[in-house]
Amino acid sequence: METKQLSDLIVEFNEWLDDAGQSETNDPNAMSVATVDAEGEPSLRMVLLKEVDDRGFVFYTNFESQKGSEILDNPKVALGFHWKSLRRAVRINGIAEQVSDEEADAYFQSRARDSRIGAWASQQSRPMDGRFSLEAAVAKYAAKYPVGTVPRPPHWSGFRIVPHRIEFWKDKPFRLHERRQFNKTEDGWTKAILYP
C-alpha cells in the first residue's frame, strides 16, 4: 500500500486551491465546517480557510458562536471544499485545536478595522431583537475604540484542524469519479482508492 507524508498532501491541496483561485469567482478558500452538539445533532456552515500548512487547516471565529462552543465541547470536525468550476472536491476529518494567542492576535490585526469592531459587536449565533441592536453595538464599540489598535476580544480566536483523513475527489465521465483517500497511520499516510 502506498504511503505518503502530510506535506505531500498539503502540496497537492495547495495546488488545487491555487487552481481554484484562478477559476472561482468568489471565495475559493470557502469551506464547510461540520460539528455536532451535545445530543449528536450535526450542524454545517461555511467559513473561510485562512491558513494551511503541515500543522493543519485554520479558520477564525467567535468561540461563543454555535460552531465555536460545539468545537470546544467536541473537537472532532469535518471540512469540505467544493470547486464547481474545477469539478473537484476535498474532504477532511480531523481534530480541532486552538491556535496560539500570537497567531490569533496577528490575524485579528490584519483584518479591516470595521471587521474588528464587528467581532466585538456581534453576539454570533444568538437571537437578536432586530438590526438596530447590532448597529447600536457597532456604534458602542466604534466609540470605545475610535483610534489606534482594536484589541482582539477574548472570545475570538482560531481553530486549527489537524487532519487524520483527507480525500481528493475529481469528476470523471459517467459518474465514475476518482476518489483518493489518505488516512493517517503511525508510519505516514496510507492511500486507498475508493469506488465512486
Q: Containing H/E element for 85?
A: none
Catalytic residues: 175
**What is the torsional sign of CA 188, 2, 82, 73?**
negative
CA-based nearest residue to 61, from 91, 96, 27, 25: 96
CA dist., res. 128 & res. 124, Å (int): 10
**Contact yes or no for 166/182 (Cβ under 8 A):** yes
